[in-house]
Amino acid sequence: MGSSLTPIFPPTIMLATREEDGVALPHESTRTSSEEGLHSTTMTQSTDNKEDVESGKDASTEPTTSPQFPEGGLRAWLTVLGGAIVTFCTFGVVQSFGVYQDYYTRISLNEHTPSTISWIGSVQVFFVFAVGLPAGRLFDAGYFHHCLLGGSFLYLFSVFMLSLVQPHHYYQNFLAQGIGMGIGMGFMFLPSLTLTSHYFRARRSLAMGCVIAGSSFGGCLYPILLNNVFPKNSGFGMGVRAVAFMDLGLLIIANSIMRTRLPPKVHGSEKASTLKEVVTDVPYLTFVVGAFLVFWGVFVPFFYLQLYAALHGVTPSFVRYTITIMNAASILGRTVPNFLADMYGPLNIIIPSSIISGGLVFAMFGASSIAGAVVFGAFYGFFSGGVISVMTPAAGCFVTHNDHSDLGIRIGLLSFTLAFALLTGNPIAGALLSPPHYRWSQPVIFAAVVIFAGAACHLIARRALVKRKGTVLI
């Protein structure tokens, strides 16, 4: 069962621009007396800045203008392509964890419960989001390429180590796949998604959706590859090494084509003031609680669909494609809703998508035949994909600063909160499954109820936000 965790919540969304990209930055003209002497001999200095110096005026006290965005161009779309490659290599693998869950449960770690095994995938995704906080600080400081290159190395090293693990050695899988790969993914994924917003504002939801859609393509390819190699002799090691070599080539391309723009520099006191404002914003906190509840349950089918189909009589030759079908549908689910979100508002899209996804969870009971698995996978993949990909743009609805300087903190707090939802949600579902009896109604009801509860929180947050902004397009 693949896990469609598309991690979509970068720790910081930088909104700065560079003059080299054709966008002017606000001038800051704070100078010392010695600089004034040098300034008097510099013929290229503007008259306005001269007047500021002579009058002792500090330009840093001027109101901050809202940054502008290219909204396209070669560099922008290469950045989107590079981000899509990163999500293909990272969350494409995460979304394929259901294949590992099925293989471990029935073969290589069959002495452990599904709940225990699911901790491998849950810890992996937890680190993807939790590492977003330190990765975001490094990103703010201008170390994007260090994060991407270092994360690529750690991730690829861990994948190669996973190919060498011995059957029935749980700790080896946990260290390589849960911790090593998870931390490496965290340093790559969230900064790569964050970088996209340097170039887009009006079409930000669509651009992020394109980046996140890369994970769906990976979620289609990896299950086919792994399911066709794992059953063979020495298939596990061969399949994982094939993934490692393919990702090596793709990540070389991503590291080569992604380029940063100049990030804003925010003083520590300003950050503290912004953080206090964010953590006391009740509508935003209500939204975060709702997001936690939705993410607590929305990935349960991605972890357990393949196991459910295998245990309910679906032919083995087709079971291996159940996750692929779900991820294929989520390609549209991560682009079409984002396109609509740019027109009608992210919250107006994510709320109905969450309600429909919660209802569709019950349709998992129909995945006991080929037709049922196809229909469920297609519909759930589409609507849950919309929930996952629009969550980050939805956080942007709550910004209160004209220059969006509080956007990074809001998304960082959301990302860190969701890490704990992803850490615990699937193990809870696995414990409720109660093997070897496999009481499927319990995890299904759990997932549906928490998704509905999250949608209710989002409705409350939306109502408060409509009053604050005076518009329903949010």
Q: How far apart are CA 409 and CA 415, in angstroms?
A: 10
Q: How far apart are CA 119 and CA 112, in angstroms?
A: 11
Q: Compare 350 and 36 and report the one with higher pLDDT.
A: 350
Please name the fold of domain 74-469. Answer: Growth Hormone; Chain: A; (1.20.1250)
Longest dimension (CA), the chain: 85
| Boundaries of every domain in the chain | 74-469
Mean pLDDT over residues 234-257, rounded? 94
The pLDDT value recorded for residue 234 is 72
Which has the closest alpha carbon to 459: 348, 365, 368, 320? 348
- 37 CB-contact burial (10 Å; exposed 0-12 / middle 13-18 / buried 19+): exposed
Length of the chain, please? 474
| Three-state helix/strand/coil letters over 206-245 | HHHHHHHHHHHHHHHHHHHHHHHHCCCCCHHHHHHHHHHH
**Could you tell me which residues come within 8 angstroms of residue 22 by beta carbon, excluding any fewer than 6 positions away?**
70
- Range in 160-164, 282-286, 429-433, 444-448 with the lowest mean pLDDT: 429-433
The pLDDT value recorded for residue 350 is 97
Q: How many CB atoms lie within 10 A of CB 449?
A: 15
> What's the pTM?
0.77
pLDDT, tens digit, 9 for 90 and up, residues 166-189: 999 999 999 999 999 999 999 998
| The most confident of 34-38, 101-105, 113-117, 452-456, by mean pLDDT | 452-456
